[in-house]
Amino acid sequence: MESPAGAPEGGAGAARKIIHIDMDAFFASIEQRDRPELRGRPVIVGGSPEHRGVVSTCSYEARAFGVHSAMPTRTAFRLCPEAVLLHPDIKKYKRISAVIRGIFHEYTDLVEPVSIDEAYLDVTVNKRGERSATRIAREIQREIFLKTRLTASAGVSCNKFLAKVASDLHKPAGLTVIRPEEAESFLDAMPVEKFHGIGRATAARLLAMNVRTGHDLRQLDRSTLAAHFGKVGEFYYRIVRGIDDRPVETGDEPKSVGKEITLSADSTDRRQLRIMVRTLSYKVARLLLGRGLLGRTVTVKLRFGDFHTVTRSQSFPEPVPDGGRLGEIALELAEKGGMYQHPIRLVGVTVSNFLTPEELNRPVQLEFDF
């Protein structure tokens, strides 16, 4: 097996020490903390079932019934009729996330927030002079609990992929370490559907190829993976070997969040195009919620069959409150851009002009239905 990225090569050098911190059922845990009557009860944070809402986060009590994130709220209530539904209070969650990120920066400035409730930390060299990344992860978990009364799970390894895999293993409040020399045996035993970066559809294709575990996946060479999965095949080749040389990146908050899709064939089908715009809008709303962002400007991009591109934007004094409203605005903008007049090749929806941290602290309550 090739050495995992960050591992010593030829016995020389020091491995990177990467921690992945993932808050446990973040939104639901905050609500149970703040509302004692919800403790021990199944709680769903998400959109209304009457408006095609989906589950953002649910408590572990709800998960026992099979409820999970991204599930339609209507389905969640069929599985767990006694669940309590709450709309996300993104401003509150953002403030608590800022406290948690402050804890991270007490140990290192190499912090890469992935979303409002998870981040990677490179503690190879850290502010505490601590040699053990495991001890740092344990201290961070303790500090988070002391300051927020919330639990976090942590994964420790020599690269981001392995640290992410580790943090998922023992939730809630777990701490898992995967050392470089343990990576091969660890990944060999993992079911392919558990690999971070392998989605449900890809897992089904792999299972159809009789690839069930990491060991099975590692038997496929680069050319075979490329033939079946294209460019992403190289990613699968590397991760099953524990290779991940991505650095922990400390970029600023994004200026915009968007999604776009290129059609397999140019279309003038009104129903198809409307569904596409609404679907993109709901996906963008979920991304915004996951990152703790609230935006006031909506932009739609249309690319026609002749590659002529049109963009239409609209700004509002207050942030767009939910995926349903975002879809309505995006449709209006797309129609103004001539979406039905010529064959469409590509559609994109973007939200920008985010509230600043100071604006987020204003006592305004918004409901999200995404």
Active site residues per annotation: 118
Backbone angles phi, psi at 117, to 5 degrees: -125, 15
3-state DSSP assignment of residue 292: coil
234, amino acid identity? E
Q: Is the dihedral of CA 70, 200, 253, 20 positive or negative?
A: positive
264, amino acid identity? S
Q: Using alpha carbons only, what angle is made at residue 141 by residues 137 and 147, rounded to the nearest 5 degrees?
A: 140
Cα end-to-end span (Å), the chain: 44
Element (H, E) at 56: strand 55-58
User: Token pair for residue 173?
Assistant: 């409040």
Distances (CA, A) of 251 to 69, 96, 111, 124, 323: 26, 20, 9, 19, 26
The partner residues of 122 in beta bridges, in order of sequence, read 18
Residue pointed to by tokens 């149970």? 32
DSSP letters spanning 318-364: S----HHHHHHHHHHHHHHTTTTTS-EEEEEEEEEEEPPHHHHTS--
3-state DSSP assignment of residue 45: strand
DSSP state of 44: E
Integer-rounded Cα radius of gyration of the chain: 22
Counting other chains too, the contacts that 317-321 makes at CB distance below 8 Å and 24 or more residues apart are 318/364, 319/294, 319/295, 319/354, 319/355, 319/366, 320/294, 320/295, 320/296, 320/351, 321/366, 321/367, 321/368, 321/369
Q: Shortest CA distance to 326 belongs to which of 301, 296, 346, 361?
A: 296
